[in-house]
Structure 1
Amino acid sequence: MIIQGDSSPFPFGYTSIVKMNDDKTRKAGMNFGILVLKKGEVMNGSGEKSGKKERVCVLLSGEACFSWRDQSVNVGRTSIWTQKPWCLHVPSGESMSIRALSDRAEVAVLTAFNDRVFEPHFYGGGEVKSEERGKGILNDTSERIVRTIFDYKSAPHSNLVIGETITFPGRWSSYPPHSHMQPEIYHYRFTPDNGFGLAAVGEKAYKVYNNDTLVITDNMTHPQAAAPGYAMYYLWAIRHLPQEPYLEPKDDPSHTWMLEKDAKIWPNR
């Protein structure tokens, strides 16, 4: 399902978007929202009171000081399009804080049930894997950048997989169409910000805009497309299922022919 946002910037404070206790989004099994802080403003957190939940905080824009235990780091991000993310990941009950160092600091916040005890970790720089996918196939029509912040291999103690995708103008991503039984959230941004894209989920298609959020469940395929002239970003979060962690997507077999080495794509060039 699509949760339509306001294309204008998020207001200061916390905007809740996906909620575990909302019948419309409970299948996601995640809480997701956008936190916006003014310069000098601090968000303190020590875990949610309703159950044990791990917490992920991804800096989207601005400058901020992330603190946990006896550590703190000052980081900034001026562009989600050209710069890798910074991300703090903490277990249930772990105290942490975020203080804005710029006039406006915007952070995506995700939580999911997890009673495991693990060391907090701050991801960034070379630790975030960035790949160009789709280059050299399908006349580059599905070329995109995929940044994996952490996954089951790098963080088996987590119940989440977190990353970002940059879809170039007029191109496709999450393509060829794939699916996985684990639920997923996509949160969109566009440049220019009046842009749009298309999200197909199973047999339904949605027109997506800046600040929209998509909840994907029930093992549905979910290919994406950016309109020509507009680049599309989405933050993605996948929740592992009990005894069924997300390891890799399952391509729709009716479309895997295009990945063959000598696949004939029209026009033939």
Structure 2
Amino acid sequence: KSGDQTNSAIGRERAWLLIKGTVTFIWDGNNKTVTRNSCFDEAPFVLHVSKDTEVTIKTDSECEICVEQVDNNNNFDSKLYTPDDIRTDVFGAGTLNEASIRSVRTVFDGEINPLSNMVLGEVINHPGKWSSYPPHDHPQPEIYHYRFFPEQGFGISVLDDDAYTVKNGDTTLIAPDTTHSQGAAPGYAMYYIWMIPHLPEDRWLPTTRYYREEHKWLLEDNVKIWPEKKVGEK
């Protein structure tokens, strides 16, 4: 809530992702106040620090912050990622009748920060569309944290052969080597934060996705699916 203050110096790598609101980050002699009005329409501000960095966070409004932390003995330069720093990719365009079009924001991964022990990003599912698709898995565990617009919206999280309803504020833990994909209900945009820890001998990279054999055909160029014509066309 507005006026709160927290200090962090716990000897772990940490990242604070602002979901919504206004906060002041204080670290390494820096003092920066940032505002995010919508996690759907705006890329995030994220403060990322290594284990020896002390951080103070002051809230200047009602706000929501996601915290990711892992053990990591590497020291690296602290960084406040601004919306201009965030890479946004649109996946699924021009294929499968746009059924899996989504926007993927990568804050940092093993390529952006090789000394980090974790990965952090966001996905925006268009209403009625799928993401993390085709179904895939990887050796690293993963966490998703969800928001919907409007807030009464819902989606599904498919883990292996089980499907779970997800709603605003829910969190899903994806165990290692678990096949996963996500779907948003029609009419509702779905946002989720994705967080992955690197394994000691197996760091996650954008290519670390292993697709289920029976669904690999969906990745082929110019793949044809039913119906090939739009509804109503002759």
TM-score by length of 1: 0.82
| Alpha-carbon distance in 2 for matches of 1:193, 1:173 | 19
Distance in 2 separating the partners of 1:232 and 1:197: 7
2:211 aligned with 1:251, yes or no? yes
Quote the Cα distance in structure 2 between the aligned partners of 1:147 and 1:262: 26
Q: Is residue 95 of structure 2 the alignment partner of residue 137 of structure 1?
A: yes
Distance 1:41 1:126 in 2: 27
Query: Structure 1 residue 231: deviation in Å?
Result: 0.8
The structure 1 residue matched to 2:8, chosen from 35, 42, 45, is 45
Give how far 1:262 is off. Answer: 2.8
Contact 2:102/2:124 (<8 A) preserved: yes
Work out whether 1:70 is the aligned partner of 2:29.
yes
2:184 matched to which residue of 1? 226
Shift, 1:252, TM fit: 2.0
Picking from 155, 162, 166, the partner of 1:197 is 155
2: CA distance, partners of 1:125 / 1:186: 20
Q: Give the match's secondary structure for 1:88.
A: strand
Partner AA of 1:216 in structure 2: I
Question: What CA distance in whole angstroms lies between the structure 2 residues aligned with 1:240 and 1:71?
Answer: 28
The residue aligned with 1:32 is none
Aligned residue in 2 for 1:175: 133
Residue 259 of structure 1, CA deviation: 2.0
Shift of 1:210: 0.8
Q: Distance in 2 between matches of 1:105 and 1:218?
A: 32
In the aligned structure 1, how far is the partner of 2:197 from the partner of 2:216? 25
Q: CA deviation at 1:125?
A: 2.1
Query: Where does the alignment leave 5 or more consecutive residues of structure 1 unmatched?
Result: 1-37
- Contact in 1 for aligned 2:142/2:176 (Cα 8 Å): no
Does the alignment pair 1:154 with 2:117? no
How far apart, in 1, do the equivalents of 2:134 and 2:55 lie?
Answer: 39
Q: Distance in 1 between matches of 2:29 and 2:176?
A: 42
TM-score, with length taken from structure 2: 0.94
Q: Does 1:55 align with 2:14?
A: yes
The CA deviation string for residues 215-236 of structure 1, in whole angstroms up to 9 with x for no partner, is 0113011110001111111001
Return the letter of the residue paired with 2:120. I
How many corresponding residue pairs? 227
What secondary structure, in the 3-state scheme, does the structure 1 residue paired with 2:214 have? helix
Unmatched runs of 5 consecutive residues or more in structure 2? 230-234
- Alpha-carbon deviation of 1:116? 1.0
Q: By how many angstroms is 1:43 displaced? A: 1.1
Counterpart among 214, 221, 225 of residue 172 in structure 2: 214
Give the CA deviation at 1:110: 1.3
Per-residue deviation, 1:73 = 1.3
Q: Secondary structure at the match of 1:110?
A: strand
